[in-house]
Amino acid sequence: MTQTFGARLRGIHAATIVPMTADFAVDEAQLSAHLAAVACTPGINGLLVNGHAGENFVLSLVEKLRVVELARRHAPEDCLIVSGVNHESSLEAAREAAALERAGADGLLVFPPNSWALGHANDCVIEHHRRIRDATAAPLMLYAAPVGAGAMAYVPSLLERLVVDPRFVAIKEGSWEVATYEQNSRLIRRLRPDFVVLGSGDEHLLTSYLVGSAGSQVSLACVVPELVVSLWDAAEAGDWPRARAAHEKLYPLAVAIYRNAPGGRATARLKACLKLLGRLSCDAVRPPQPSATPNELRALEQALRITGVL
């Protein structure tokens, strides 16, 4: 029997990066190799492409479509491909979503526009999601932004309005704060018991699995996929000592990538990790982000050694 989209979301899905050349063009050869290597790792059930780690806010639509096409080509046939949709304009977001679906995405993750961090009317959020919904037929996912991202993080009353739309079937819960994660998870389970909640705060995966999660879409899994899978497998089995041991290896790397100031540096640090591991020849990030600094590189190298992969 064919699994539903929600059932296929269970487990670990890696949010991938987009390798660039030194002059900031998409390096298709390295991108293809990256997608294949991550997707073929045992226990990786799918990919999230064109997410924040994939620099979706600085890629053109043509580039985003190419990322989906290459993911479809190089990932195993049963690998679930979800593409992010991120645009300031609701009209352009709807066009982008329809094009990404045609390119081969199995589902679409709707990111809140970055401008919403400064504030928005709740009806604007509903309208943005409605435009994307009406332009597509694929399963749709919500994104719960970090609580530190200002008004991009949906308050419970707004989240409730979004969740009751039957076209939306899952959420990448990236609140990055345990109390909010549990609050949102409980609200969603009350409204839609079938709604898939993916605990996707890379620094507190263990906690989200303890609270309750169907899996994760995380960029940490594009650097150390085996370790993230081992954490999930242990949690699924209820083997919390083994899960805690995996968490102890992952935690310093998660902190080095996602927490340390300055903020918004995760993609540069992910690329630096892949270069340190010999999986990427160039760690260029598209402007305005610079590549990893010497201090960042030292912290990342130390964390990679703790994980045992370097």
Q: What is the pLDDT of residues 286-303, one digit of tens each?
A: 999 999 999 999 999 999
Angle at 265 between CA 38 and CA 248, to 5 degrees: 60
State the pTM of this model.
0.96
Alpha carbon 268 to chain centroid distance?
Answer: 15
Q: 50-71 pLDDT, tens per residue?
A: 999 999 999 999 999 999 999 9
pLDDT higher than 80, residue 118: yes
CA neighbor of 215 nearest in space, from 203, 227, 229, 194: 229
From the number of C-beta atoms within 10 Å of its C-beta (0-12, 13-18, 19+), residue 205 rates as buried
pLDDT higher than 70, residue 1: no
Residue 93: the pLDDT is 98
pLDDT higher than 80, residue 2: no
pLDDT higher than 80, residue 274: yes
Residue 3: pLDDT band (50, 70, 90) is: confident
Q: What percentage of the chain reaches a pLDDT higher than 90?
A: 95
pLDDT higher than 60, residue 28: yes
Complete domains list, the chain, with CATH: 9-239 (3.20.20.70)
Contact between 197 and 189 under an 8 Å Cβ cutoff? The reply is yes
pLDDT higher than 90, residue 80: yes
Residue 208: the pLDDT is 96
The per-residue pLDDT of the chain, averaged, comes to 96
pLDDT higher than 90, residue 262: no
Query: Token pair of 64, please?
Result: 């985003």
**Alpha carbons 134 and 10: distance in angstroms, whole number:** 26
pLDDT higher than 60, residue 244: yes
Annotated catalytic sites, by residue? 143, 172
pLDDT higher than 60, residue 184: yes
β partners of residue 13: 46, 217
Residue 160: pLDDT band (50, 70, 90) is: very high
Sheet containing strand 196-199, strands side by side: 196-199, 168-173, 140-144, 107-110, 80-85, 44-49, 11-15, 215-218
pLDDT higher than 80, residue 283: yes
Residue 264: the pLDDT is 83
Q: How many CA atoms lie within 13 A of 30 on its CB side?
A: 19
Three-state SS for 196?
strand
Residue 123: the pLDDT is 97
Residue 23: pLDDT band (50, 70, 90) is: very high
pLDDT higher than 80, residue 75: yes
Mean pLDDT of 211-237: 98
